[in-house]
Structure 1
Amino acid sequence: MNGRSAQYSKPIVNYLRIKKLQIFPVLKRLNFSGKLTWSAPEGHQWILFFNRGQVVYGHGGVHPTRQWYRQAQARLPEFDLSYQTLQKSLVASSTASWLDGWDYHLLHNWLSQGRLSPQALQEISTNIVADILFDVVQTPEAQYQLARQPALDSGQVPIAINEAALLPSVTDRWEAWLEGGLEAYSPNLAPVIQHPEPIRAQVSPGVYASLMQLLDGQRSLRDLAVKLGQDVFNLTQALQPYIQAGWIGLVEVADFPAPGGGDPPIADHQRPLKIACVDDSPMVCKAMGQVIRAAGYDFVPITEGAKAIPTLLAQKPDLVFLDLVMPDTNGYEICSSLRKMSRFKAVPIIILSGSDGLVDQVRARLLGATDFLSKPMEPIVILSVIRKHLALTRT
């Protein structure tokens, strides 16, 4: 690290964390090709891929799919990155090398097709590796293993990451995180507003409405930073006073489902899982259906609130998306009625609403709602919520 580690003057516990990065110049001297895997006691793994001593890509951690998706989305805004499109792209191609996970394989294919520039690939790879290294540094007890692999040719690994800039950048980011008093906060946690009234009193109506929509517990701090075009440190520091006051909480959020069969829908051996959507808007049901069917689930659209309960009883879905406001009834009444039936006592019910009020959320949960999503919903968030709650019903 250009001698920086020898002059490190921070507390010894912080030095020991940063010291993990000293393995990079060692692997460079050894001309190492293969995988460097860090493992955390709780089971997470971070994998860095090296070719001839240079790191070329990374994968893993708490949110490997979110990690790839936010970087690809930020640098490829014109690409269709929907789950079903990514699935089709992977089915139509083949993998070859030890580096070729679904995530790198997509990027490499786009590069070979001329759809992705070498610079964009390098930026995506660099930012993914930077996030991985930050998480490794933040995890005190992370242990590493090395697995040698044959060196790859230039056609398989077109771009190497600039370690000379990357490693000092990770060190500076970690030091800023500590000096800002953020050590206890993981950037993989998702902020959610718990007490909106004090926040409403301090910000403009427009900012308040944006916060209520964005801080819904479905996007991690890193997701939000990329979406808003901000540095995750600056965003977290801006939210810190509200977090310390208890107005905003930080909660764990599930990873997105991985395309390419790496994370298939959880299903039993008798039938595919069935998802229902009760919403008076045919457009909402159609959009939901496209996303849900493409992920391998059965889908039941219900656009008339009055027919919701008999249809749900007949179809027996494994999860229900339920609109809060409909012309002839409302989600509160339907949710309350369903929870009184033995068949639906444990079925996840996800309330959908265009409202940003905490009162609606609290009332919905008191009546038995499992979760609460604000409209409009991103397709990959829909799949993440499905995966999260169906997994919980089977643990």
Structure 2
Amino acid sequence: MQGHLNEIDIRSILQLIELGQRTGELFVETYVSASPFGGLPSDRARPPSEHSWFVFFVNGHIAYATSGDGNLLRLRDYLRRYKVDAALDSVSMSAIASINAPEYGYLWSLLENHLLTPSQGRSIIRSMVHETLFDLLSLHHGSFIFEISPPLTPQLTTLEIAPIVTDIIKQVQAWKQLHPHIQSPDQCPAIANPEQLREALPITTFKTVERWIDGKTSIRQMARYLNRDILTVARAVYPYIQQGLVQLVYPTVAAPSYASRGLSTWPEARPPRIVCIDDGTTIRKAVEYILNRHGYEATAIGNPLKALSLVFHLKPDLILCDIAMPELDGYEICAMLRSSTAFRQTPIIMLTGKDGFIDRVKARIVGATDYLTKPFGESELLMLVEKYVGVGNPELPKPDVLLAEALGDEVKLNIHDQADSVSS
């Protein structure tokens, strides 16, 4: 089942999944200009980007829901409720996680290491599901794909669709009443007039407000920290926004620095983005240097487990993946990426050995697009990359290339030596 949200809305999609008692994944994608709450204000300093979400179902019930960016910022916010957010740095993603749900894998690692109780885990998942559905049920534009697939296992909890949807629809309708003063849960409240606000509130309340309303913490984050829904938090600050005592700002988005080129805004179009997954340091540095120097946006990752979560955040246009790696080999990574709706069409090029006929056959079986035999030279690498994503944009050098140039010829020669060692 797939289509566009101007043909069928999210509520109807969820009802069909519930009625059919389906098990699988729903993937929804929309661009920033059509984000749930009207998106960010026009700001050329922000890059064009898309929003995406995954919802996992088991027999017509929701087991988990998440955004498609693959990062752990949301989970860290929820863990702050229980003062265990720092523990996230000491665990690795559990192997049980679906490729589409790295956050879920880390949550299970915390449970397996007894850093989080099952009750706390269930509470976090319920909140994540509510937050995700609040965004999805606010959407009017976008595309979706629902695919039958094995259930996300193990399951900590499952939630009935109908009562959750009924509750969240009411919240979405109530949220609209806060317009135009509050436009998005990603806006950050900031105190506009401290003196008047101090006079309007009891001293203890003011101190609490001063702590949270700092211009850096969004309404969405406050809801996570306080274990409240987004609407409740928004309603609490709404009267003060009306009175002009509190103002709303959007979080600052860090942009790449093009100051050295006299550019103060994001370019109109980003260069092709490429991820190289290889545990060999020489290969990684050489590939990254060659591609960045030719106008691509290249990122090399040595740890295959970390790569699975990072690719969702980076959203590459092409993936280069070595076959022989510890923990997860290239076949497993390719198969897992192909099982994800988000990477069904992304070109995946496997880096094979010199006598790798069997490797190439296996690579095709797991869904690889093409292969590149090691050792390879710069021209071979560029020819294959250009075949699938086109030429790079030499007008937009990457920060690490600019750094190499700034540090002088010695650094550049060292990287060239590494590149030469690949082809020798």
Q: CA deviation at 1:105?
A: 0.9
Name the structure 1 match of 2:124: 124
Name the structure 2 match of 1:235: 233
Name the structure 2 match of 1:57: 64
Q: CA deviation at 1:170?
A: 0.9
CA displacement 1:155-211 (0-9 Å, x = unmatched):
523422232432222122223223455785222221111232322332233333332
Name the structure 1 match of 2:174: 176
SS in structure 1 of the partner of residue 241 of structure 2: helix
Match of 1:24 among 14, 18, 30: 14
Q: CA deviation at 1:97?
A: 4.7
- The answer as to 2:204 corresponding to 1:206 is yes
8 Å Cα contact 1:136-1:142 kept in structure 2: no
8 Å Cα contact 1:107-1:121 kept in structure 2: yes
Summarize the Cα distance change of 1:183–1:54 in structure 2 as closer, same or farther, 3 Å threshold.
farther
How many Å separate the matches in 2 of 1:137 and 1:18? 12
The amino acid that maps onto 2:13 is I
Summarize the Cα distance change of 1:212–1:117 in structure 2 as closer, same or farther, 3 Å threshold.
closer
Q: Compare 197-206 and 184-193 and name the one that shifted more.
A: 197-206
CA displacement 1:300-348 (0-9 Å, x = unmatched):
xxxxxxxxxxxxxxxxxxxxxxxxxxxxxxxxxxxxxxxxxxxxxxxxx
How many Å separate the matches in 2 of 1:209 and 1:169? 32
8 Å Cα contact 2:18-2:161 kept in structure 1: no
The amino acid that maps onto 2:76 is Y
Q: CA deviation at 1:100?
A: 6.5
- The answer as to 2:61 corresponding to 1:71 is no
Q: What is the correspondence of 1:264-303 to structure 2 with a 5 Å cutoff?
A: none
8 Å Cα contact 1:31-1:52 kept in structure 2: yes
Name the structure 2 match of 1:87: 89
SS in structure 1 of the partner of residue 168 of structure 2: helix
Count of paired positions: 239
Q: What is the correspondence of 1:1-395 to structure 2 with a 5 Å cutoff?
A: 19-42=9-32, 43-60=50-67, 65-74=72-81, 76-77=82-83, 79=84, 81-82=85-86, 85-90=87-92, 94-98=94-98, 101-112=101-112, 116-151=116-151, 156-181=154-179, 184-228=182-226, 230-253=228-251
SS in structure 1 of the partner of residue 91 of structure 2: helix
8 Å Cα contact 2:54-2:100 kept in structure 1: no
The amino acid that maps onto 2:123 is E
Name the structure 2 match of 1:381: none
How many Å separate the matches in 1 of 2:7 and 2:181? 12
Q: CA deviation at 1:130?
A: 0.8
Q: Compare 53-62 and 106-115 and name the one that shifted more.
A: 106-115
CA displacement 1:101-136 (0-9 Å, x = unmatched):
332112223444555444433321121111111112
How many Å separate the matches in 1 of 2:130 and 2:173? 14
Q: CA deviation at 1:89?
A: 0.6
8 Å Cα contact 2:26-2:56 kept in structure 1: yes
The amino acid that maps onto 1:25 is Q
8 Å Cα contact 2:15-2:161 kept in structure 1: no
8 Å Cα contact 2:121-2:156 kept in structure 1: no
SS in structure 2 of the partner of residue 212 of structure 1: helix
Summarize the Cα distance change of 1:119–1:253 in structure 2 as closer, same or farther, 3 Å threshold.
same
Q: CA deviation at 1:245?
A: 3.6
Q: CA deviation at 1:22?
A: 2.1
8 Å Cα contact 1:54-1:160 kept in structure 2: yes
How many Å separate the matches in 2 of 1:248 and 1:64? 30
The amino acid that maps onto 2:27 is T
- TM-score (structure 2 length as normaliser): 0.48
- Root-mean-square deviation (Å): 3.8
SS in structure 2 of the partner of residue 44 of structure 1: strand
The amino acid that maps onto 1:222 is R
SS in structure 2 of the partner of residue 187 of structure 1: coil
8 Å Cα contact 2:53-2:66 kept in structure 1: yes
How many Å separate the matches in 2 of 1:204 and 1:223? 24
8 Å Cα contact 1:20-1:137 kept in structure 2: yes
SS in structure 2 of the partner of residue 40 of structure 1: strand
The amino acid that maps onto 2:126 is T
How many Å separate the matches in 1 of 2:68 and 2:184? 12
- TM-score (structure 1 length as normaliser): 0.51
How many Å separate the matches in 2 of 1:190 and 1:173? 20
Q: CA deviation at 1:255?
A: 9.2
Question: Quick one: percent identity of the two aligned structures?
Answer: 21
Gaps of 5+ in 2: 1-5, 33-49, 255-287, 290-398, 404-424
The amino acid that maps onto 1:198 is Q
Q: CA deviation at 1:56?
A: 0.9
CA displacement 1:237-272 (0-9 Å, x = unmatched):
23223223433222222699xxxxxxxxxxxx89xx
Gaps of 5+ in 1: 1-15, 257-268, 271-389
8 Å Cα contact 1:32-1:52 kept in structure 2: yes
Summarize the Cα distance change of 1:110–1:239 in structure 2 as closer, same or farther, 3 Å threshold.
closer
8 Å Cα contact 1:63-1:188 kept in structure 2: no
The amino acid that maps onto 2:207 is A
8 Å Cα contact 1:191-1:216 kept in structure 2: yes
